[in-house]
Amino acid sequence: MSKRSNRCSWVVLALIGLLARGHVCMAMTLEQMQKLPAVQLLNERIDAVFNRCGFPIRIEDLAASDAPKRSFVWRERPISLSAGEWKVTYSSVNEGSPSLAETAPGTAPPRTCVRGASRLVLLAREVGVIVRTKKPAGYGYLTRYQIPSDPLHAHKVLRIDVSVIPALSVITITKRYGEPDEIMASKAGAHIMRYWVVVRDKIHSPRNAFAVDFRIDLKTKHCVGFSVDTDSIEFVAKRLEHLQGQWERAFVLD
């Protein structure tokens, strides 16, 4: 067996050992996911994030360099960004940015938003809202999908990526959340332990899904960070569609 295969097998062997000792509990629940640092920012609009956490240390515009920019202001701070995806970064350590001291009156400081983490990166994308208005004659409604005019309100957090402190061991994670649904190799010299969190309605049809990925450092065998993706991200949307198809075949179709 190659050195790479040996490295790739340690997580599986650790999990088998835990199972044999009876330590592994049920899979991660929505309530457990919601207790992870910064998860409460998922599906928030960026203007709400700024009001809660203050101005970030960095906003990276992921659109092409020639994409048209829009200029606007947040609390007298000029901003110029495209309508494309943004990466918004917060940090609990001083990185020389005066923005860490800026918070909305009566709200928590930025370091509270990243409590339990050294760094937080949000992926935000323009997401519209459904607007229903009565028809002029008063009969029925018109429904349209509308992008908010305020760029900060138009952009919604669809993914969080957190660097954790302190690092969690694999045993701690599996004791707390059970055996992962998937274990994947990463290009960054780490393994990914993935947990699928599925929200179901009253008739148990899958309604929402999240992918929770713990990054496991191969040398220390500890989690150095995690990410959570909503079902607005393509691979999670495909998973949700698959689960909904399974449910329909089992409970709806003859």
**CB burial class (10 A; 0-12, 13-18, 19+) of residue 201?**
exposed
CA angle 105, 160, 241 (to 5 degrees): 130
Q: What is the mean pLDDT of the chain?
A: 82
Q: Which residues contact 172 (CB under 8 A, 6 or more apart)?
A: none
Range list of β-strands (E), the chain: 58-61, 70-74, 77-81, 86-91, 117-126, 129-134, 141-146, 155-169, 182-185, 190-200, 206-217, 222-229
Confidence tier at 95 by pLDDT (50, 70, 90)? low
Q: Report pLDDT for 232.
A: 95
Q: Which residues partner with 229 through β-bridges?
A: 159, 211
Confidence tier at 94 by pLDDT (50, 70, 90): low
Task: Please give the average per-residue pLDDT across 230-254, as a whole number.
Answer: 90
HSE-up of 63 (CA within 13 Å, CB side)? 16
**pLDDT tens column, 163-179:** 987 778 999 999 999 99
Read off the pLDDT of residues 70-91 as tens digits, 9 standing for 90 and up.
Answer: 999 999 999 999 999 999 999 8
Provide the pLDDT for residue 5: 45
- Rounded Cα distance, 216 and 221, in Å: 6
Closest listed residue to residue 147, CA positions, set 79, 70, 199: 70
pLDDT at position 105: 47
What pTM value is reported for the model?
0.81
Look up residue 195 and give its two tokens: 């947990």
Q: What is the pLDDT of residue 21?
A: 40
Triad 15, 212, 123: Cα angle to 5°: 150
CB-based contacts of 245, cutoff 8 Å, min separation 6: none
pLDDT at residue 23 above 70? Answer: no
The whole-number average pLDDT for the span 186-212 is 90
> What SS3 class is residue 119?
strand
By DSSP bridging, strand 141-146 and strand 77-81 are unpaired
Amino acid at the residue 10: W
Q: Could you report the per-residue pLDDT of 213-232, keeping only the tens digit for each?
A: 999 998 888 999 999 999 99
Q: Residue 175: how many CB atoms within 10 A of its CB?
A: 13
Q: How far is residue 145's CA from residue 127's CA, in Å, rounded to a whole number?
A: 9
For residues 182-207, give the mean pLDDT.
Answer: 89
| CA nearest to 87, candidates 57, 66, 129, 128 | 57
